[in-house]
């Protein structure tokens, strides 16, 4: 049986379910999700290997109208992913408006020479007719090789998507070992699991003004992992919000992050969290590097 191997970029506006799609296709949680836009800040590779195929999926930040340096780099990372892939998944929602961000993505995709899939996600919360209307609107601007309604959350049509992808991948040698799942460094993964809970528990601007740095990871024993993370925020006024009354908020962030880390690593995790204030960290290269944006 011929072996197929290649790269797939998952692109779209913020909060359309790109990270949820990656996790579902891998049957593994490697990238964080929340109901807030721009949760994903950098390109993340996930590798799905079967008997006769290897799909290297790239989850990208949402393409949006970027103003500050961190957001401009996020968008550029997403666009750069198109230079190296064999297939692009353009993820939209049923009823999506064809606004400036969508039009920008479609203009970029007009220049892309590989296979293009239009994935209409969150079909479990919508209707077939609404998905068809959305596809017809988008096809007025650009035609795609496939249109597929999916639900990344419920797994609807994910197997079909994988089958189509395998068929379109080039014949190639396997790039990664069978047990390789992601290119995410251990420290970055731990920091992201903490940041995910900040997005889920806090409102307004605080999550977007936050970066998490994992400073220490140690195996204390065969079944205990110790890790320490700093939560870096932009303003002193945000520190009380992050800590919460009697420290309840940061304790809950730590508890939820620890539970997810224990599921991922399969061992007990001791997680220490600290809070630091760094004014305007979004414009400083040392903190952009933490987010793998430089």
Percent of the chain with pLDDT over 70: 100
Q: Where are the domains of the chain?
A: 4-168, 186-290
Instruction: Say how far apart CA 32 and CA 37 lie, in whole Å.
Output: 12
CA dihedral over 260, 263, 265, 270, signed as positive or negative: positive
Mean pLDDT across the chain: 93
Write out the E strands in the chain.
Answer: 4-12, 44-49, 53-59, 87-92, 115-120, 146-149, 210-221, 224-233, 268-277
Domain 186-290 in CATH 3.30.300.20? The answer is yes
According to the model, what pLDDT value does residue 162 have?
98
For residue 126, count CB atoms less than 10 angstroms from its CB and return exposed for 0-12, middle for 13-18, buried for 19 or more.
middle
Give the pLDDT confidence of 45-58 residue by residue, as tens digits: 999 999 999 999 99
According to the model, what pLDDT value does residue 68 have?
79
In this prediction, residues 260-277 reach a mean pLDDT of 95
Model confidence at 205: pLDDT above 80: no
Instruction: Say how far apart CA 70 and CA 81 lie, in whole Å.
Output: 17
Model confidence at 36: pLDDT above 90: no
Q: Residue 19 — pLDDT band, cuts 50, 70, 90?
A: very high
Model confidence at 8: pLDDT above 90: yes
DSSP 29-53: --S---SSTT---S-EEEEEE-SSE
Q: Residue 231 — pLDDT band, cuts 50, 70, 90?
A: very high
Model confidence at 259: pLDDT above 70: yes
* Within this chain, domains 4-168 and 186-290 share the same CATH topology: no
Asked if residue 291 lies in contact with residue 253, where contact means CB atoms within 8 angstroms, the answer is no
Model confidence at 193: pLDDT above 90: yes
In angstroms, the first-to-last Cα distance of the chain is 40
Q: What is the DSSP letter of 63?
A: P
Q: Residue 23 — pLDDT band, cuts 50, 70, 90?
A: very high
Q: Residue 1 — pLDDT band, cuts 50, 70, 90?
A: low
Whole-angstrom CA distances from 171 to 48, 71, 122, 175 are 16, 36, 32, 12
According to the model, what pLDDT value does residue 145 have?
97
Model confidence at 64: pLDDT above 90: no
Query: What is the CATH number assigned to the segment(s) 4-168?
Result: 3.40.50.300
Q: Which of 107-121, 147-161, 194-208 has the lowest mean pLDDT?
A: 194-208
Which pair of tokens denotes residue 217? Answer: 């990871």
In this prediction, residues 17-34 reach a mean pLDDT of 94
Model confidence at 142: pLDDT above 70: yes
pTM: 0.92
């Amino acid at each position: 049986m011929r072996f197929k191997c290649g790269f797939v970029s998952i692109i779209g506006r913020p909060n359309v379910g790109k990270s949820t799609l990656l996790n579902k296709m891998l049957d593994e949680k490697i990238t964080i999700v929340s109901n807030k836009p721009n949760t994903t800040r950098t390109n993340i590779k996930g590798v799905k290997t079967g008997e006769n195929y290897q799909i290297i999926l790239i989850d990208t930040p949402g393409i949006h109208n970027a103003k500050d340096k961190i957001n401009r780099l996020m968008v550029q990372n997403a666009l750069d992913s198109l230079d190296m892939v064999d297939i692009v998944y353009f993820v939209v929602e049923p009823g999506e408006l064809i606004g400036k961000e969508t039009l920008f993505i479609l203009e970029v995709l007009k220049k892309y020479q590989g296979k293009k899939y239009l994935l209409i996600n969150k079909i479990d919360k919508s209707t077939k007719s609404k998905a068809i209307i959305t596809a017809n609107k988008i096809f007025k601007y650009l035609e795609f090789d496939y249109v597929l309604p999916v639900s990344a959350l419920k797994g609807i049509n994910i197997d079909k998507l994988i089958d189509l992808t395998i068929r379109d991948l080039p014949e190639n040698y396997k790039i990664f070992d069978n047990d390789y799942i992601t290119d995410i460094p251990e420290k970055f993964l731990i920091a992201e699991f903490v940041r995910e809970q900040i997005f889920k528990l806090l409102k307004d601007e605080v999550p977007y003004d936050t970066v998490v740095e994992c400073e220490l990871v140690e195996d204390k024993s065969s079944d205990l992992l110790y890790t320490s993370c700093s939560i870096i925020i932009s303003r002193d006024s945000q520190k009380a919000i992050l800590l919460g009354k009697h420290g309840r908020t940061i304790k809950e962030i730590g508890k939820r992050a620890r539970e997810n880390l224990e599921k991922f690593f399969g061992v007990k995790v001791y997680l220490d969290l600290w809070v630091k204030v760094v004014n305007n960290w979004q414009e400083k290269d040392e903190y952009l590097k933490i987010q793998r944006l430089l």
